[in-house]
Amino acid sequence: MSRFVVGIDLGTTHSALATVDTQREGARSEVLGVTQLTSRGEHEARPLLPSFVYFAHQGEGALSLPWDAERRFAVGELARRRSAEAPGRVISSAKSWLSHTGIDRRAEVLPLGAQDDVEKISPVEASFRYLDHLAESWQASDRSHPPLAEQEVVLAVPASFDAAARDLTVEAAYAAGFEQVSLLEEPQAALYAWLEAMGDAWRQELSVGDLILVVDIGGGTTDFSAIACKEQDGALSLERVAVGDHILLGGDNMDLALAHTLAARLAAPADTEQAPQPLDRWQLAALTHACRAAKERLFSEPDLTEVPVVVPTRGSQLLGGSLRASLRREDVEQVILEGFFPEVTRDARPKQRARAGLTQVGLPYASDPAVTRHLAAFLTRQAGALGGSGAGSGGAGSAGAGGLLRPTRVLFNGGVLKAPSIKSRILTILNGWLEAEGAPSAVELPYGDLDLAVARGAAYFGAVRRSGALKIRGGTARAYYVGIEAPTPAVPGLEPPVSALCVAPFGMEEGTQAELPPQELALIVGEPVRFRFFGSSVRRQDVAGTELLTWSPDELTELAPIEATLPAEGRAEGDLVPIRLGASVTAIGTLLLEAEPMEPLSPNERWKLELNVRE
């Protein structure tokens, strides 16, 4: 058993690493500084590693680090700074690309639209480079440390990550040499950090019937989760009961909105003697990165009223001029609060806009920037998360007549929520909804370090898991289904009907198997076939073997299909083989299907299919 338990937050905009030394009695999580280039020729250890990769120009020379003098790329602070000056040479938001089902996530596509002299890598490779940098920094910080690859590593991932994105994250970790890897949902990690900070006092802060809403707004995503306080064997226990969708909406969107605000100011300057300065797409990208840094300074330094922003002009990056503007605190308040956290009613829903027929390849961003509308939709959709019908008694954490899940506590996480004005706005709107339902107001669970909570919580989880202490129960965040095609005569323009067979019910624990009742199923072997999978975060009543003949889009969401050719194993190509189907959830949360022939040709004949993406 390894000496250290290491928690890693592989974030969209920042990554972090925390450890627990299990050989020290009563040890708490400690954040380890990550050595990185901060400017050319200068490096230092910082608690946060910006999740950016920069590829140097041919004439720039090496981007040397203490452990690699010849490196031609940079991960971390220097890469983030260069993103404002040379956005076409920088990869950002790799984590969001890792969960994008519309692309081949192993294909070398990043940086998107880069010139021919820029190295292109896949989202999986980018994630590997972040993890590899963390491992290198770990070893360089203390040569007496055993390698990070030999330690128990807990990687935090969004609760809304599907099985494919989880599998690809683990693939990146294996590529970095990590041998003992497990995954933990980020909202749970944030709550574990709060539990560690509270010590035994958390049991006085929470009581049976409380429902904790975790609001996690990071650089690229917004995630909502609900964790219920229940009683188990006479003791207080915690169970994750609801997970929202993977919403590509976060600080990156806010940075872009601020950039457009400044771009409009540059295009129509208040000083009539100054010529208008319309920005092209390249300059807007640079301005967006500059606004990110300015916004973070305004959030972290409350005495500042404005921060200067500099944008390079086109031409030589060394000889070209620059455009200058200032991001004011009132800009941030107006653009972010009113644009992303407007006051809405509890029946509000995200707005859908008509999409163009042709679009560039890019991330599937949320069409509605209003986080509060997404929150209202989550609370309504998950009204039955505690088993109620939506017309409960009105108690804490229940669903009222309006069909709204009623949290009693709120835990904030993510860099965006370091701004007190944003947290206050969310609480005010949420409590307005609860008051309208006749429910008590929700109270914030305060925690001091929103940037490092996930890494700390992941490390703490790994430590308490060894001792068999407190564990937030939850299992899979969705029920999983496989599509079963019915035999039907060929009819022009009519596809054969497909039913959805539940193979993993909601909340199925990792490392367990589902008992599927006997089904009359057959598997096609020896030729290319396509397996369809579905997921549901609302159908909690389905058990393994439940077959749905019809369903609504609100109930089931189709996941990325798997295309495969299963080996014939001595059978004829295209044979239909009668099978018994089994299902299990692996330790990393992916779904594994096993098909065992009713009449095997050999003792070990069976086919395995894992719910991940093999593009």
State pLDDT tens for residues 134-144: 999 999 988 77
The more confident residue out of 63 and 321 is: 63
Band (525; pLDDT cuts 50, 70, 90): very high
Output the six-digit token pair for 248.
């590509």
Instruction: List helix spans (H) across 437-515.
Output: 453-467
587, pLDDT greater than 80: no
In this prediction, residue 433 carries a pLDDT of 97
**Quick one: 251-340 is in which CATH superfamily?**
ATPase, substrate binding domain, subdomain 4 (3.90.640.10)
Contact criterion met (CB below 8 Å) for 460 and 193? yes
315, pLDDT greater than 80: no
In this prediction, residue 140 carries a pLDDT of 92
The more confident residue out of 4 and 387 is: 4
In this prediction, residue 471 carries a pLDDT of 75
Angle at 349 between CA 353 and CA 401, to 5 degrees: 160
CA 410 remoteness from chain centre: 19
Contact criterion met (CB below 8 Å) for 129 and 136? no
Rounded CA separation 22/16 (Å): 20
Question: Which CATH architecture best describes the domain 4-185?
Answer: 2-Layer Sandwich (3.30)
Domain boundaries, the chain: 4-185, 209-248+344-352+362-451, 251-340, 479-610
Report the chain's terminal Cα–Cα distance, integer Å.
Answer: 36
The β-bridge partners of 72 are none
Which fold, 209-248+344-352+362-451? Answer: Nucleotidyltransferase; domain 5 (3.30.420)
- Backbone region of residue 545 per phi and psi (left: phi > 0; alpha: psi in -120 to 50; beta: other values): left
Same fold, 4-185 and 209-248+344-352+362-451: yes
The pLDDT tens digits of the residues spanning 389-422 come to: 333 334 456 554 458 999 999 999 998 898 888 9
Taking alpha carbons only, the member of 554, 584, 601 closest to residue 349 is 554
Taking alpha carbons only, the member of 353, 341, 352 closest to residue 257 is 341
In this prediction, residue 481 carries a pLDDT of 93
Q: Which of 94-103, 267-276, 294-303, 503-512 has the lowest mean pLDDT?
A: 267-276
Instruction: List helix spans (H) across 361-452.
Output: 371-381, 420-436
305, pLDDT greater than 50: yes
Contact criterion met (CB below 8 Å) for 112 and 93? no
Band (362; pLDDT cuts 50, 70, 90): low
